[in-house]
Chain A
């Protein structure tokens, strides 16, 4: 019995025993949801007039794509690769890279982890902990919390002072010979940061000038000193927090 378009009622699975399916199989009254055979040995699944999933002639499945590139290809946003019910983890795997998002589970609660090479904890490379700490293993052997450089600047303090390059620095204020403020483009979260400075010249000391008096979340005052204040051609400063 050839398959006929069914416009109402329940589809009886027995009809699929027929030798050939040709054309579209509509499963709703409007004809926008159903199964289509767009080409030989290919199935396309539609809802509301849009193709959502396709099985190609070589058995590959595409979701959100009509041309799956491998056994199972998903294109779109909010892709869920796998949810491990036992550990309540979201797991995405690509070659030797595993990405985990833990919803629950002791110290791994709400963590996001990227693992490399093989599926063992010793190969964790990057993690955002449940408390928001960014951790990484740069190759020295263990994953640990990273503390970022919050601001940096490289400037010439001689002649007409000028900034060569910088990060999160809006300007420097030239207060006088060997005396500058570094002004942050975005404020520090608090004043408990660390300043590191350097310049050319043996014995030159680059120091934070009386931080309790002159430093804040938006600026830090630094001086270059060696028995007196000096301007230098290459001044380097960085802020860590």
Chain B
């Protein structure tokens, strides 16, 4: 059992000692005669996430196969790497990102923490034309942007000087004072941050902007706890944990380096379809603001894009389309994809330089005040 616990840990599962002891106890009750029962017992007690089930099964099979043939147990520990990749791929991450070595080179690490740069980057300079040092500075600024998206009302109450009468406190006060007092307590619904979902296009046509916009997404993720991020080109990948503060700098660097393997054509409709069918139920909670970052170059089926955007629009509180090309003078959203998108989006805004990002920030801040509700196209 201890050995199997170690195999599971090597495969990336969190296995607690107390649970292993439970498992030993449980196996005494259920018995060891049927392998299916043993599997069911261990699955019930050692796994507590659906995503881990596949890894567990693979480890279980490998472990007991090795046991049957009496082979050496050592190679099993190499299983970890393989299983982890399988698990991540189920969750939709690009294998390339995971296969990168865990330790970034010192040079990368220095870059990733936003090394001090004396370069002043012009706030109106297009992201696609930044020099290496300007890029570093822009990245530093993007990672530190304070973001505040409108708030939403929750169902929890909090004390207030106005609002509805707080009956529980009224009674408690009355009891304590021996009668109803004149100063009545009130309460209002508490507010919480409105969640954000980012869907960023990293296909070939976005090449000039993908890297810097990833830092934009990363800055947003770190400023607010409630941000879900996805990247798409021909398929969709969730990168929430990589871009959040918990992911650490290496995680971001790995995603950024992984980008070069992306490129290729875009199928926005299909990516959104995947999002709507497999992710929306889990991440579209509490009426989020959805930011789609794309130039709208779409090689897929426009009807599919139309349908999926309509659905996406219905499941969020605000659909914002950010297009880096919109900053160029004389740009007209003539691509088929952009034409379709304009039928559904609430806001169509540029993200091509720091000024446009600032404007976006103030736009998002004002979104749910009364005058922010009309469409910006």
Are A and B physically bound partners?
no
A interface with B by C-beta (< 8 Å)? none
B interface with A by C-beta (< 8 Å)? none
